Amino acid sequence: MIHTAKLRQLILPAILILAAFTAYIPHIGYPYPLHVDEWFHITVAEEVIHNNAVDLYSGQPFRLGMERAWHLMLAGIFLIFPPLKVYPFLVAALFILATLSVYTFAKRYGERIALIAAFLTALIPSNVTIGGPSLLVPVNLSLIFTPLALKFAFDKKPNLLVVFLCTLFLLYAHPPSAMVLLILLGTYALLNVKEDKTRAKSLFITIFAAVIASVPNYAGRIAEKGMESATFSFWLFVEQTPLLFGYITTVFFIAGFYMLTRTKEKENWALIIALLFLLIDIFVYTRISTSFFVPYVRVFIPMMFIMSVIAAYALAKVKSNILLGVILAAILALSLQHNYETPYYHMINETEYSDMVWINENLDKNAIILADPWKARPIPTITGMRVFTVLPFGPDSKELEQNQKAIDFFRNNCTDTQFLKDNNISVIYAPVECNNQDLKRVHNNTYILENR
């Protein structure tokens, strides 16, 4: 019995190690960010640290945007640790916190369910479309703060201060994740209106207070775009949810979903109803290519947290520990295979990184750099210097027009000196061999404009 107790104490640490490993898999052999969003977030955090007045991507006045709490958090971390050095380890550390948060929430169902839920959470997949724990993107905050907020909201004696702080943080850090949490909390409050009016009232007040406190974060966008700010269109294809979540896990999720519908606990029904809302959001997108309130591709990560808890509820009903072990081993093997086979793009290679470090160390920090619009995204992160144009995150006619100017310049072998002068460009990181007597090659593919 003593050995069994000690073994059980090792299960949670082992799951947390698994979470760190799962998050780290895509970074094996490639130390740089894997997603265009990661380069952006790291750059914004660095701009905060250096108190930039001008945005290094657009040349416009610097603005924190609606994910300011996320960027301020990153800035605090990067004040202590060099961004690109700590980056892969930070990703793993955040996923450990997420897995631990899910475990803490799921303990309300018992230790067995909590451990299984944590195990399934540690295997939540990542890809370049939905994000996920292998990437340094703010949607992953939903895996940390949503379970915590629900735990303190569902407790017999709810801690509304923690609920308020978690909700407010997400409202300032990642609005889509905050919307999912608001759906969960709002659903739970509505379910309590008849039988526990005090709890319902206090939750509504907490939600209202958090939303009101977050108005400064949204007022500008709402004033600018109106209702358009609550609709989101996408053109990317996402794999079917069972394939993402895993077929075996999905089977147990369906079983757990059915089991929870047979219960009367309002906490369970809050999860069920909120999950149905998220599934409807996905269904609506597949029909009209537009999502409302929660962007389609930002639904999957918080949804998989709920699915993990529900699947764990069913898996815990497997009485034979041997059979349960076999099932979990199969889930683990298939999940790791999926994670290893998931493709990621590499925006730069080691040579390009070295080139950008050289630019940072040897050229004027106030210079504007012209580069291929795709390769331009990492340049401000590494050099701290402004780029002329960068490939936008979505259809942006003005930015795409600037992109085309850069493409045309390189297509003509960098011969348009007047274009460089008109746009105050003095550094060129070229994807081609430049043929222009006004340009001096100073390092590899790097040129500077002479006689400005």
pLDDT tens across 359-408, in order? 999 999 999 999 999 999 999 999 999 999 999 887 778 889 999 999 99
pLDDT reported for residue 237 = 45
User: Do the Cβ atoms of 414 and 432 come closer than 8 Å?
Assistant: yes
| Residue in 147, 127, 403, 86 with CA at minimum distance from that of residue 270 | 147
Q: Is 174 left (phi over 0), alpha (psi -120 to 50) or beta?
A: beta
- List, for residues 405-426, the tens digit of each pLDDT value: 999 999 999 999 999 999 999 9
Q: Which tokens is 66 given? A: 């609606």
Q: Is residue 375 part of a domain?
A: yes
- Give the domain-ending residue among 341, 362, 397: 341
Q: At what angle do helices 83-106 and 36-49 cross, to 10 degrees?
A: 110
pLDDT reported for residue 418 = 93
pLDDT band at 229 (very low <50, low <70, confident <90, very high): very low
Q: Which tokens is 362 given? A: 């040897």
Better-predicted residue by pLDDT, 119 or 279: 119
Same domain? For 271 and 190 the reply is yes
pTM recorded for the entire structure: 0.90
Residue 370, H or E segment: strand 368-371
Q: Which amino acid, residue 338?
A: H
Q: Is residue 48 part of a domain?
A: no
Half-sphere exposure of 190 (CA within 13 A, CB side): 11
Q: Is residue 39 part of a domain?
A: no
Same domain? For 15 and 121 the reply is yes
pLDDT reported for residue 2 = 47
Same domain? For 302 and 335 the reply is yes
Query: In the chain, what percentage of residues exceed pLDDT 90?
Result: 77
pLDDT band at 245 (very low <50, low <70, confident <90, very high): confident
Instruction: Write the DSSP symbol of residue 367.
Output: P
Same domain? For 337 and 369 the reply is no
pLDDT reported for residue 242 = 61
Q: How far apart are CA 290 and CA 230, in angstroms?
A: 10
Same domain? For 327 and 358 the reply is no
User: Do the Cβ atoms of 376 and 427 come closer than 8 Å?
Assistant: no
pLDDT at residue 262 greater than cutoff 80: yes
- Give the domain-ending residue among 290, 318, 341: 341
pLDDT band at 5 (very low <50, low <70, confident <90, very high): low
Better-predicted residue by pLDDT, 357 or 5: 357
Mean pLDDT of all residues in 94-111: 97
Same domain? For 156 and 260 the reply is yes
Same domain? For 137 and 193 the reply is yes
Q: Is residue 59 part of a domain?
A: no
pLDDT band at 129 (very low <50, low <70, confident <90, very high): confident
The sign of the CA dihedral 375, 380, 386, 390 is positive
Mean pLDDT of all residues in 102-124: 96
Q: Is 399 left (phi over 0), alpha (psi -120 to 50) or beta?
A: alpha
pLDDT band at 4 (very low <50, low <70, confident <90, very high): low
pLDDT at residue 222 greater than cutoff 70: no
- Other C-beta atoms closer than 10 Å to the C-beta of 65 total 13
Query: In the chain, what percentage of residues exceed pLDDT 70?
Result: 90
pLDDT at residue 226 greater than cutoff 60: no
Same domain? For 269 and 356 the reply is no
- Give the domain-ending residue among 317, 341, 365: 341
Number of domains into which the chain is organized: 2
pLDDT band at 218 (very low <50, low <70, confident <90, very high): confident
pLDDT reported for residue 220 = 64
In Å, how far from its chain's centre is CA 58? 22
Q: Is residue 439 part of a domain?
A: yes
Q: Which domain holds residue 121?
A: 2-30+64-341
Q: Is residue 390 part of a domain?
A: yes
Q: Across all residues in the chain, what is the average pLDDT?
A: 90
Same domain? For 370 and 331 the reply is no
pLDDT reported for residue 223 = 53
Q: Is residue 44 part of a domain?
A: no
Q: How far apart are CA 296 and CA 238, in angstroms?
A: 10
Same domain? For 172 and 303 the reply is yes
- List, for residues 7-34, the tens digit of each pLDDT value: 678 999 999 999 999 999 999 999 999 9
H helices present in 262-362, as ranges: 266-288, 300-315, 321-341, 350-362
Strands 368-371 and 386-387: parallel
User: Do the Cβ atoms of 101 and 307 come closer than 8 Å?
Assistant: no
Q: Token match 């990492």: residue? A: 378
Q: How far apart are CA 199 and CA 154, in angstroms?
A: 10
Q: Is residue 243 part of a domain?
A: yes
User: At a CB cut-off of 8 Å and minimum separation 6, what does 88 contact?
Assistant: 24, 27, 31
pLDDT at residue 279 greater than cutoff 90: no
Better-predicted residue by pLDDT, 45 or 219: 45
pLDDT reported for residue 65 = 85
Same domain? For 122 and 206 the reply is yes
Same domain? For 298 and 165 the reply is yes
pLDDT reported for residue 272 = 96
| Residue in 170, 113, 110 with CA at minimum distance from that of residue 146 | 170
Q: How far is CA 441 from CA 62, 135, 186, 405, 430, in A?
A: 32, 36, 61, 21, 10
Q: Which tokens is 159 given? A: 């801690």
Q: Is 144 left (phi over 0), alpha (psi -120 to 50) or beta?
A: alpha
